[in-house]
Amino acid sequence: MKIHQQPETNLRQQKLEEFFHQEKPAKSEASILPKIRCSSNPDINYISPQSLADLLDNKISIEKYLVIDARYPYEYEGGHIQSAVNISSPENLSSILEGSNWENTPIIIHCEFSQQRGPALYRWLRNSDRLQNMENYPALSYPELYILQGGYSEFFKLFENFCTPQSYVTMKDPLHKHDRKKLKSKTCQPRKAYLRCS
């Protein structure tokens, strides 16, 4: 007795064979900037404040990169890393990335200490990228994704000259208590506590 395969099954088998035999030129791992691994957050690529300073000072030759400051606007306005863009929500991040070609470009995210808001935004972008590229796994549109180790706090201590204005407003600044409460609900919040990587 001869069994006939349905056309849908043949098409599915063909797609699976194409997937496993295709060359995958797209990247799936960050490799442009020197990475620091952290045992408490092994899914995150960290870069040192020194690496970011070298990038800003053109000691690392990269034409295009994006620094995302995930802090609240009052923190950003009180002092931020040169060329950083203030984005604290997934919606704002999506609109920035969709408007330009940032694929395969280093994207460096940070918050005050790079413990919660920055890693939450990093993980949101990584998960969103994985979902969009599910059919091309393990390829990613944004493989060059990093977190600044120690956040703005550490960077400011070491490289104040790369900050504008050269000042630092903390998240818990008493002058912005009311703003903080309003903004907290609009930002990318972590689902669990993240440990500081030292």
Task: Write out the catalytic residue numbers.
Answer: 111
One-letter-per-residue 3-state SS of the chain: CCCCCCHHHHHHHHHHHHHHHCCCCCCCCCCCCCCECCCCCCCCCEECHHHHHHHHCCCCCCCCCEEEECCCHHHHHCCEECCCEECCCHHHHHHHHHHCCCCCCCEEEECCCCCCHHHHHHHHHHHHHHHHCHHHCCCCCCCCEEEECCHHHHHHHHCHHHEECCCCCCCCCHHHHHHHHHHHCCCCCCCCCCCCCC
Decide: 169 and 111 in contact? Cβ < 8 Å. no
